[in-house]
Amino acid sequence: MARAEKATAVAELKEHFESSSAAVLTEYRGLTVAQLKQLRVTLGGNAKFAVAKNTLSKIAANEAGVTSLDNLFQGPTAIAFVSGDVVEAAKGLRDFAKANPLLVIKGGVVDGKSMTPAEIATLADLESREILLAKLAGALKAKQSQAAATFNALPTQLARLVEALREKRGETGGTEAGADAAADAAE
């Protein structure tokens, strides 16, 4: 590879590292071109799956400020640059790796934080962003409904309490007056 080609490749990889919200490094040894194409289709618009030389990838990552991946650039390495939903891309990689055990997730970086393969698997177990936001909205709506019901119930309960106190005073007030009259008559 000529120097100009290497410089172009490094610049392109650096731009991918900088513009992506996550990068997941995988080992693809033994996978066919058709299987790699299937993986790219599986990832869809969430990620770009690129095979690159380790030395060029390492240089590009370091220039982009991602130094936590240095020890992962060994053996045949491909990088999934995630630009969409990180959870969906992690699920795609995990599911493809289950179906094709030759794909091994080495680790990665998400929003500047280094991730181990186990952490990426945990990330893949999360529900998608849309589902989590919907659940949050539902929970907030439920709490608002509970608060509204509580606020609506307070005046009703207060009215019942006042009525019960009035009835109790009426009952005890009548017997107390009768007892006082009987005590006055006895004297």
> Quick one: pLDDT at residue 81?
92
Contacts of 103 (CB under 8 A, 6+ apart): 26, 27, 28, 31, 39, 93, 96, 97
Q: Are strands 77-82 and 22-27 parallel, antiparallel or unpaired?
A: antiparallel
pLDDT band at 181 (very low <50, low <70, confident <90, very high): very low
> Quick one: pLDDT at residue 175?
52
Report which of 26, 17, 39 is spatially closest to residue 73, judged by C-alpha positions: 26
pLDDT digits (tens, 9 = 90+) for 37-96: 998 888 888 788 888 898 999 999 889 888 888 888 888 889 999 987 888 888 889 999
Report which of 96, 86, 157, 162 is spatially closest to residue 126, judged by C-alpha positions: 86
> Quick one: pLDDT at residue 173?
63
pLDDT band at 179 (very low <50, low <70, confident <90, very high): very low
> Quick one: pLDDT at residue 185?
44
pLDDT at 15 exceeding the cut of 70: yes
pLDDT band at 2 (very low <50, low <70, confident <90, very high): confident
pLDDT band at 178 (very low <50, low <70, confident <90, very high): very low
**Angle formed by the axes of helices 86-99 and 117-125, nearest 10°:** 110
What pTM was computed for the model?
A: 0.65
pLDDT band at 106 (very low <50, low <70, confident <90, very high): very high
Cβ of 107: how many Cβ atoms within 10 Å? 19
pLDDT at 124 exceeding the cut of 50: yes
